[in-house]
């Protein structure tokens, strides 16, 4: 897709009510960009989590809000709390300065004040509340914290994130703010990077992210998704890989590797944002693909390993996953963390 360098300007005047301007992320020029671009990496795995990722939620709502809390418990059960090579990070909420790089001032004001009730045209899918605002700011802050940590260690993960349906000026598909877009803009502005790759492996196309960066030469968007799934009006990514229903482990991995290898070779990214959506699993109620738990592990390991071999820092987020069996769902999301730990421990 042809791109040009046109940019959107936004006002820095919007501040979330009751939220201080807190930014605890590593900064360029201090300790924020110490990774060796020639291939150095750390044996410590930073994982970002906040208990506020899960809030009180309507019992019958289809979005599994409790999955973030249950994933944290699953990682503890798997021994992540007992390891010296895992560093747990508690994020601060994203600031207005960061959010305004990816969203319009008008939309942020409506978001803070609860004026984005679902409509037929741009549904958020969520009942608005002050707790939801704070939780969403924490989620974006978590991805930004993972970015800052990955710039130090080469790899970091957030136990939430992947809200790729949100546009600059509106919510969509359970996504209120686009953490991937905000993080990519953060890398361009704060770390002066020139090539950021977004690898979106959620089963749903990253339409919001694709649209936000449609004219941005410095950000490459790769979306590997189900062809007959939400959003039904798709946007054009820099590379779209549409998969038929029932695609299983081997066919999925072959399509992913073919696309990713060529992009890594030709685009030569300086940073990768990886959306490791678990909704490609065979048992996901919204996915319609057929990956197994081991297929998820193989996918995540291969993406991370390819970047690690090339010395490219990666920040990973968990993306989508929908199942009323939240323990099973947590096990699917945990594959990203197990794959990352295998790399850093190895």
Mean pLDDT (10-residue bins), the chain, 346 residues:
34 34 34 38 92 92 94 98 97 98 95 69 70 96 98 98 95 93 98 98 93 97 86 81 94 98 98 97 89 98 98 98 95 98 90
The secondary element (H helix, E strand) that includes residue 242 is: strand 239-243
pLDDT at 127: 82
How far apart CA 133 and CA 128 sit, in angstroms, is: 8
DSSP type of residue 235: -
How far apart CA 196 and CA 88 sit, in angstroms, is: 25
How far apart CA 280 and CA 322 sit, in angstroms, is: 10
How far apart CA 153 and CA 144 sit, in angstroms, is: 14
How far apart CA 288 and CA 104 sit, in angstroms, is: 34
Please answer whether residues 155 and 171 qualify as being in contact, where contact means their C-beta atoms are separated by less than 8 angstroms. Answer: no
> What does pTM read for this prediction?
0.87
CB under 8 Å, gap of 24 or more: what pairs does 13-16 form? 13/105, 14/96, 14/99, 14/100, 14/105, 14/108, 14/109, 14/112, 15/96, 16/93, 16/96, 16/112, 16/133, 16/137
DSSP type of residue 329: H
279: left (phi over 0), alpha (psi -120 to 50) or beta: alpha
pLDDT at 115: 77
User: Which of 102, 76, 99, 98 is CA-nearest to residue 88?
Assistant: 76
pLDDT at 128: 82
For the chain, give the number of residues: 346
* Direct distance between the N- and C-terminal alpha carbons of the chain, in angstroms, rounded to an integer: 38
Please answer whether residues 214 and 181 qualify as being in contact, where contact means their C-beta atoms are separated by less than 8 angstroms. Answer: no
User: Which of 302, 96, 298 is CA-nearest to residue 186?
Assistant: 96
pLDDT at 268: 98
- How far apart, in Å, are the Cα atoms of 69 and each of 115, 279, 280? 28, 18, 21
What is the set of domains in the chain, with CATH numbers? 45-345 (3.40.800.20)
Whether the ω angle into residue 83 lies within 30 degrees of 0, i.e. cis, is no
pLDDT at 288: 86
Please answer whether residues 144 and 91 qualify as being in contact, where contact means their C-beta atoms are separated by less than 8 angstroms. Answer: yes
Question: Which tokens is 245 given?
Answer: 């229903």
């Amino acid at each position: 897709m042809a791109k040009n360098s046109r940019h959107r300007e936004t006002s820095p005047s919007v501040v979330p009510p009751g939220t201080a301007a807190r930014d605890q992320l590593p900064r360029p020029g201090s300790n924020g960009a110490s990774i060796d671009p020639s291939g150095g990496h750390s044996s410590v795995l930073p994982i970002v989590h906040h208990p506020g990722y899960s809030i009180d939620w309507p019992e019958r709502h289809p979005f599994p809000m409790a999955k973030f809390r249950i994933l944290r418990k699953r990682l503890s059960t798997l021994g992540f709390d007992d390891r010296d090579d895992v560093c747990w990070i508690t994020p601060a909420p994203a600031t207005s300065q960061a959010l305004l790089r990816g969203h319009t001032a008008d939309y942020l004001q409506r978001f803070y004040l609860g004026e984005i009730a679902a409509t037929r045209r741009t549904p958020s899918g969520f009942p608005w509340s002050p707790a939801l605002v704070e939780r969403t700011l924490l989620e974006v802050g978590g991805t930004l914290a993972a970015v800052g940590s990955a710039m130090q260690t080469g790899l970091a993960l957030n136990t939430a994130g992947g809200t790729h349906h949100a546009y600059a000026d509106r919510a969509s598909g359970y996504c209120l703010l686009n953490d991937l877009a905000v993080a990519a803009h953060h890398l361009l502005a704060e770390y002066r990077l020139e090539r950021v790759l977004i690898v979106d492996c959620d089963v749903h196309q990253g339409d919001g992210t694709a649209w936000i960066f449609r004219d941005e030469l410095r950000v490459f968007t790769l979306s590997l998704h189900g062809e007959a799934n939400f959003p039904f009006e798709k946007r054009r990514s820099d590379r779209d890989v549409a998969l038929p229903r029932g695609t299983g482990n081997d066919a999925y991995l072959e399509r992913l590797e073919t696309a990713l290898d060529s992009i890594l070779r030709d685009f030569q990214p300086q940073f990768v944002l990886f959306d490791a959506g678990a909704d490609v699993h065979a048992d996901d109620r919204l996915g319609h693909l057929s990956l197994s738990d081991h297929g998820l592990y193989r996918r995540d390991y291969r993406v991370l390993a390819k970047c690690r071999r090339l010395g490219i820092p990666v920040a990973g987020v968990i993306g989508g996953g929908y199942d009323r069996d939240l323990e099973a769902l947590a096990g699917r999301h945990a594959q990203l963390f197990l794959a990352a730990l295998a790399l850093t421990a190895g």
